[in-house]
Amino acid sequence: MKKPIDCDLLVVGSGAAGLSAAVTAAAHGLKVVIAEKEPTFGGTTAWSGGWMWTPRNPLARRDGIVEDIEQPRTYLRNVLGPHFDEAKVNAFLEAAPRMVAFFDENTALRFEDGNKIPDTYGNVPGAAAGGHQVIAAPYDGRELGGLIVRLRRPMRETTFMGLTIQAGPDLRAFMNVTRSPGAFLYVARRVGWHLIDLVLHGRAMQLRNGLALVARLLRSAEDLGVDLMSSSSVVRLLQADGAVRGAVLETADGLIELNARRGVVLATGGFPHDAERRRAMFPASDQHWTLAVPSATGDGARLGEEVGGTVDRTLAAPGAYCPVSLVPYADGTIGRFPHIIERGKPGIVGVLKNGRRFCNEGNGYHDYVTAMMRAIPPGEEIASWLVCTRAFQRRYGLGISRPAPVPVAPFIRSGYIKTGRTIAELARNCGIDPAGLEHAVGDYNVGARRGEDPAFGRGSTTYNRYQGDAAVSPNPCVAPIESGPYYAVKVVAGSFGTFAGLKTDANARVLEASGNPIPGLYAAGTDMASIMGGFYPSGGINIGPAMTFGYIAGRYAAGANDSDVGLAINANLEKGSYA
C-alpha cells in the first residue's frame, strides 16, 4: 500500500451531490478530495437535463414569484402522503434557496430560471404553476482548460450530433427550425460553432444541462483547491473509535489509504446497475432499462451497510422511472432513449399490446411507467407503443428520430420505428391487436376532434399544457390521429436512477438501524434515500435535493455555524436583496 493521503473530507463520486458537497466544504475552508471511479467526472448528472427543483429560489424571487415555505411543504405533504418526512423536507426547503444563492455568490456556478415550469400535479393543493426550478447557465468548455478532457462526454441519445440542447427557448428553436427564420439562424449558428468545436476539440464545447452543471462545479472545485482523483474507486471505509475517518481507494497505482479527519460523503449515484439489489427491490427487474451511467453499481449502499448503515426499502417506488425505447445501432449496440418530450404533444397515444390506452400520456415520466406496469398482467412483457402519424413525427419527432428536416428513414430501416398505411397495418407490424388499436384510436379521435380527452383528461393540468403545443387549440395536448401513414415506437420500463438509498437524518448523516448517526459518514444524491419517498412531484426532484443535501453535508462536515456565509446569504434572502 502507498503512503496514505491526508485530507479533511473525502467525497466519493463526482455527480451533482458529490461536487456540491466538495465545493461547499472547500469554500468553508476544508481540504477536500473527490475520488471518482471513472476516468471522467460527472456521473449520471452529466447525462441529465440538469434541472433542479428548488422552491423559493432567488431567481424566482427576482421574477416576483414569492411564496411561503408552507406552499411547497403542503404540496409535498399531499403528494407524498405517509412517505412525507417532515424533518428532511423542512431541511431541504430551508436550505435549497440558500444553496442556490451560495453557489451563485461564491463559485463559478451560475443559474438560469425555470420559472415557467409547473409542478407535475397541478390539481394537488400547494402545486405551483412555476418558480420552482433552476438550471446551470450554459458554459463554454474552454473555461475548463485542461480539465475538459476529464469531463464525461454527453449521452449519445439525448444530443444532436453531440450537442446538448436545453429545454425551453433552445429546444423550441431546434423544433421550429423549418418554420421560423429566427429559429433557423439561431440553430445554424449553434450547429456551425459546434462543427468547428468538433474539428478543434473533438467534442462539444457549448455545454448545457447537466454537463454545464458538472463543468461549472468542476471549475469551482479546482479553483478552491479540491484534489480531483479520477480512476479511483473507493472500495472500503476506514473507521477509528466508531467514526468513519477515511477509505481505501483502488487506483492504477494500486491501493491507496486516505485519512479524512472530518469524514466521508457517499455520492456514488445509487444502485441502478446493481443487478442483485435491483432484483430484490424493483418490480420485474429483469425488464428494466436504466438510463444511469454503468458505473452506478451501488457501491455507496454497500460501503454504508458495511459500517452499519441501512438502505430504506419502504419507499413507494425504488426508482425514478422513465419510459425508454431501445435504439439499435449499426455496430450492434443498443442505445436507451428517454421519452420526455413527445408524449405530451398533441396527436400521440400510448397503447398496450391489446391496443388500449392506459394513462394520460402527457403526465410525468414516472407516472407513465407506473401506469404501464400496473396495467400489464404479471408475467407479460412490460411494453407499450407510442402511436402517431408521420406528420406528427415530422413536427415533434418520435423517440430518437428527430423532427424535419432530419431524415426519419434510417430509423424505419433499422426497425426502431414501425409504420403502417392504416392503423390495422401498423398494429400488425408492432404485434398489437389490430381491432383493439383501431377501436382505441377511433375512440380517442372522437374527443380529440373537439380538443377533449374524456378517457384520461389530457390537457387538464398546467403541467400537461406546458408539455403540449401552445399553437394547437382548443387543447394544446390533444389532436386527432387520422391521416396515415402511421408510425409507432415501442417503449419499455426504464429509470433515471434509484430513489431507494441509505437512511439519513436531515443533516445527510447516515443512520444506523437504531436511528443513531454514524459519526463521520454522510450520503447525498441517489446514495441517500430520496426525500420524495418514491414519488415524482416535479422535474428536478433528483438534482435539486442532491445539490442541497450535498451543500448541507459539506457545511455540516465543516462545522459551519451562524456567523458564516450560509446564514449571511439567508439573511440576504429574507431581506429580499436577491430580488
User: Residue 299, interface with ligand FAD (CB under 6 A)?
Assistant: yes
DSSP-based three-state secondary structure for 64: coil
Stretch that binds ligand FAD, among 82-90, 362-370, 507-515, 535-543 (CB under 6 A): 535-543
Stretch that binds ligand FAD, among 47-55, 118-126, 252-260, 405-413 (CB under 6 A): 47-55
CB-nearer residue toward ligand FAD: 335 or 436: 335
Tell whether omega for the bond before 537 is within 30 degrees of 0, i.e. cis: no
- Count Cβ neighbours within 10 Å for each residue of 449-483 and write b for 16 or more, e otherwise: eebbbebbbbbbbbbbbbbbbeebeebbbbbbbee
Stretch that binds ligand FAD, among 42-50, 112-120, 180-188, 448-456 (CB under 6 A): 42-50
Say if residues 19 and 150 touch (Cβ distance below 8 Å). Answer: no
Candidate list 120, 295, 467, 475; residue touching ligand FAD; CB under 6 A: 295
Query: In the window 369-408, what residues touch ligand FAD (CB under 6 A)?
Result: none
User: Residue 525, interface with ligand FAD (CB under 6 A)?
Assistant: yes
Stretch that binds ligand FAD, among 9-17, 190-198, 455-463, 513-521 (CB under 6 A): 9-17
Query: In the window 434-473, what residues touch ligand FAD (CB under 6 A)?
Result: none
User: Residue 48, interface with ligand FAD (CB under 6 A)?
Assistant: yes
CB-nearer residue toward ligand FAD: 44 or 462: 44
CB-nearer residue toward ligand FAD: 44 or 393: 44
* Shortest Cβ 285–ligand FAD spacing (Å): 18
With CB under 6 A, what is the number of residues at the site for ligand FAD? 44
Stretch that binds ligand FAD, among 192-200, 403-411, 463-471, 542-550 (CB under 6 A): 542-550
Say if residues 500 and 527 touch (Cβ distance below 8 Å). Answer: no
User: Residue 543, interface with ligand FAD (CB under 6 A)?
Assistant: yes
Tell whether omega for the bond before 474 is within 30 degrees of 0, i.e. cis: yes
Candidate list 24, 115, 206, 233; residue touching ligand FAD; CB under 6 A: 233
Strands 52-53 and 334-338: unpaired
Beta strands (DSSP E) in 16-55 are 32-35, 52-53
CA distance 504 to 83: 14
User: Residue 494, interface with ligand FAD (CB under 6 A)?
Assistant: no
Torsion sign (Cα): 67, 72, 75, 78:
negative
CB-nearer residue toward ligand FAD: 302 or 356: 302
Candidate list 138, 537, 540, 554; residue touching ligand FAD; CB under 6 A: 540
User: How does DSSP classify residue 480?
Assistant: -
Name the one residue in this structure whose C-alpha cell is 497505482: 253
188 CB-contact burial (10 Å; exposed 0-12 / middle 13-18 / buried 19+): exposed
* Shortest Cβ 31–ligand FAD spacing (Å): 18
User: Residue 119, interface with ligand FAD (CB under 6 A)?
Assistant: no
CA distance 164 to 209: 7
Stretch that binds ligand FAD, among 15-23, 399-407, 459-467, 515-523 (CB under 6 A): 15-23
Neighbours of 306 (CB within 10 A): 11
**The residue type at 553:** A
Candidate list 11, 43, 273, 488; residue touching ligand FAD; CB under 6 A: 43
Say if residues 74 and 127 touch (Cβ distance below 8 Å). Answer: no
CB-nearer residue toward ligand FAD: 32 or 292: 292
CA distance 307 to 238: 9
Stretch that binds ligand FAD, among 87-95, 262-270, 324-332, 343-351 (CB under 6 A): 262-270
> Around 227, how many Cα atoms within 13 Å sit in the side-chain half-sphere?
17
CA distance 425 to 427: 5
CA distance 72 to 87: 14
Candidate list 401, 461, 467, 526; residue touching ligand FAD; CB under 6 A: 526
Interface contacts to ligand FAD, rule CB under 6 A: 12-18, 35-38, 43-45, 47-51, 155, 158, 210, 233-234, 267-269, 291-293, 295-296, 299, 338, 496-497, 525-526, 539-543, 546
